Amino acid sequence: MSLITPTRTPVDGTEMLEPDLQELARTVRAFADDVVAPAAYTYDTERRLPLEIIAEMGRMGLFGLPLPEEYGGQGKSYLHLCVAVEQLARVDQSIAVTLEAGLGLGAMPIYRFGTEEQRRAHLPALARGEALAAFGLTEAEAGSDAGATKTTATLSDGWWTINGSKQFITNSGTPITSVVTVTAVTGERVGRDGRRGPELSTIIVPVPTPGFTALPAYDKVGWHTSDTHPLVFDGVRVPEENLLGERGRGFSNFLSVLDEGRVAFAALCVGAAQGCLEQAVLHAKRRVVFGRPIGDNQHIAFTIARMQARVAAARAVMHDAARRIDAGAPFTTQASLAKLIGSEAAVANASDATQIWGGYGFMNENPVARHYRDARILTLGEGSTEVQLGIIARSLGFDRAFG
């Protein structure tokens, strides 16, 4: 007799959430299973962002979850966004990152640092999912060292002129991309140590604007459905009032944007780890080898138990970081912990799930195979593992451990 009770499902972490978060998790889970999952392989092979699915997510209010109602949002917490991202990532990381980057990196900086006019101009369409926003920080020589930005913005006669390039920018070239917020050198400043350095600021570039080009999309290892482009800014002119936040505060502003976005990114990692866990349980219970389900072997059952442990730990740390954001408490270290633990859980679970699925785990039509490819970016994007370790080390007093 099989040792496994087929009706038992993995703990999905929603049991202790408040009722409206549980309701959101159920709704998004059903949408993910019924609408996103069946189409995921098609979009992955076509390498195109399914705008009809994005529009449906917009109608569900997902793109406005943490934004106030006065800007077209749902007035919910950051944890609501994390719960939604997690449920989508269970079945499709590309769809999940479109929401995570669109809101966490695209819309939230405009909400956090924007003027009333900027909020009213951009947020309602973004909150409805009718438009997408991108955040352009990374350059050829400014990735982990994001302060090494070379792109310049020069102010003259009430206009910024932007020259330079960005790379790997999510949501930057879709037919509904309405805005790209970029970091640029706007002058020179004297630091606390008396040394001169670049003054960095953040500027809103509406799309389209003459001189702005999204070059052809990258041929990526994974996240095929997510939209990622190199960007060129060739004499792009935008009005002075497109400065986002204070001039010269670009560096500290984007660090806080990254901290916050990292928590939603951690939710994506948790969802991916959970999706792999569920696929592993499913296959281990029904795949019969040597006359019995492979899950009857202690090695397989214990591998899956460890997958469950990883995802439960990652989710707990992610929830803690999200609740800190919502409480207005410091969360930089917790965001890095959540991103570090979540990404490593997702990579490990994707590898274990592939092993458990055997040869079919290596076939692209298998969701486990897609998770395996997609998970590779998770320890690199939104601050690599080493960046997270550097932030955590700094919180322990090791100020010179990174950079």
Ligand X SMILES: Cc1cc2nc3c(=O)[nH]c(=O)nc-3n(C[C@H](O)[C@H](O)[C@H](O)COP(=O)(O)OP(=O)(O)OC[C@H]3O[C@@H](n4cnc5c(N)ncnc54)[C@H](O)[C@@H]3O)c2cc1C
Q: Which residues contact 211 (CB under 8 A, 6 or more apart)?
A: 162, 233, 234, 235, 236, 237
| Cβ proximity to ligand X, 220 vs 394, nearer residue | 220
Tell the smallest beta-carbon distance from residue 380 to ligand X (Å): 6
- Retrieve residue 116's tokens: 């009333």
Tell the smallest beta-carbon distance from residue 395 to ligand X (Å): 17
Q: Which residues contact 231 (CB under 8 A, 6 or more apart)?
A: 136, 165, 166, 167, 169, 172, 180, 182, 212, 213, 214, 215
| Cβ proximity to ligand X, 103 vs 307, nearer residue | 103
The candidate with the shortest Cα–Cα distance to 119, out of 182, 72, 189, is 72
Beta strands in 137-287 (DSSP E): 152-156, 159-170, 177-190, 196-206, 212-214, 228-239, 243-244
Q: Which of 260, 278, 344, 382 is catalytic?
A: 382
Report yes or no: 64 and 127 within 8 Å, Cβ to Cβ.
yes
d(CA 315, CA 273): 10
Report yes or no: 122 and 133 within 8 Å, Cβ to Cβ.
yes
d(CA 112, CA 205): 17
| Cβ proximity to ligand X, 344 vs 382, nearer residue | 382
| Cβ proximity to ligand X, 74 vs 202, nearer residue | 202
Tell the smallest beta-carbon distance from residue 389 to ligand X (Å): 8
- Following CA atoms 157, 163, 169, 171 in sequence, which dihedral angle do they give, to the nearest 10 degrees? 40
Q: Enumerate the H helices of 328-361 as residue ranges.
A: 332-357
Tell the smallest beta-carbon distance from residue 140 to ligand X (Å): 8
Q: What is the binding site for ligand X (CB under 6 A)?
A: 101, 105, 134-138, 143-144, 168-170, 220, 223, 228, 377, 380-384, 386-387, 402-403
Tell the smallest beta-carbon distance from residue 95 to ligand X (Å): 14
Residue 382 annotated in active site: yes
Residue in the structure block whose two tokens are 């309701």: 23
| Cβ proximity to ligand X, 104 vs 361, nearer residue | 104
Tell the smallest beta-carbon distance from residue 138 to ligand X (Å): 3
- Retrieve residue 102's tokens: 């669109």
| Cβ proximity to ligand X, 182 vs 300, nearer residue | 182
Tell the smallest beta-carbon distance from residue 244 to ligand X (Å): 14
Tell the smallest beta-carbon distance from residue 281 to ligand X (Å): 29
Q: Which residues contact 354 (CB under 8 A, 6 or more apart)?
A: 361, 362, 368, 369, 372
Angle (CA) 33-12-334 rounded to 5° is 115
Q: Which residue is nearest to ligand X (CB)?
A: 143
d(CA 134, CA 205): 10
Instruction: Return the DSSP state at 142.
Output: B
Phi, psi angles (nearest 5°) of residue 180:
-125, 120
| Cβ proximity to ligand X, 74 vs 93, nearer residue | 93
d(CA 109, CA 202): 10
| Cβ proximity to ligand X, 235 vs 403, nearer residue | 403
Residues involved in catalysis = 382
